[in-house]
Amino acid sequence: MAQPALVVEAGDPFMTSDIVVEMVKQLRALDTYDTYEGWSEEKIIDPLVMTKERKREIPIIGDPDEITLARVKAYYNSIASLIEKKGGLMAVPVINITHEGFGRALVLVGKLIVVDKVLRDVHRFGFPSLEDLASKTDATIEKALGLITTYREVAEA
């Protein structure tokens, strides 16, 4: 398969957003087969951008492949890692995905569930733009930090 053109351009301001920086770090760390060796950060994060055009080229029904699963896991691992950094308490990601690409992603802090997302159509996982990835993720993290503040005792339990 020919490499598709990149959507993310060098100098995109959201390349320095918390989630993009963390995800690039996580994807590189988990890259046991050196898939990403020599790749720019833009190229590593690019498949997370699921434009309408890209989405159209993917069947509506499909099983996620290993690399897509690894990206989804890296995404929720990154969210947990950012919540931990900002909230100061250990945050644990729990990700359950069936072979058909359905499932659930949780982030746990103590006895508190701070992120709880239903996953579907994981084979088409992505965000319309890097900006959208950054803003949706920020909202998820803010909500999680709010829960930790409200239910501090449970988060520390």
Interface with a copy of itself by CB under 8 A: which range of 38-46, 63-71, 113-121, 129-137? Answer: 113-121
Q: Under the criterion CB under 8 A, does residue 153 sit at the interface with a copy of itself?
A: yes
Q: Indicate the residue among 130 and 147 with the shorter CB distance to a copy of itself.
A: 147
Q: Under the criterion CB under 8 A, does residue 104 sit at the interface with a copy of itself?
A: yes
Question: Site residues for a copy of itself, window 58-77 (CB under 8 A)?
Answer: none
Q: Using CA atoms in the order 133, 28, 92, 108, what is the torsion angle rounded to 10 degrees? A: 10
The beta-strand segments (E) located in the chain are: 92-97, 103-109, 112-119
Q: Indicate the residue among 51 and 98 with the shorter CB distance to a copy of itself.
A: 98
13, 129, 144, 147, 152 from 112: Cα distances, Å: 33, 31, 10, 8, 9
Query: In the set 21, 30, 94, 145, which binds a copy of itself (CB under 8 A)?
Result: 94
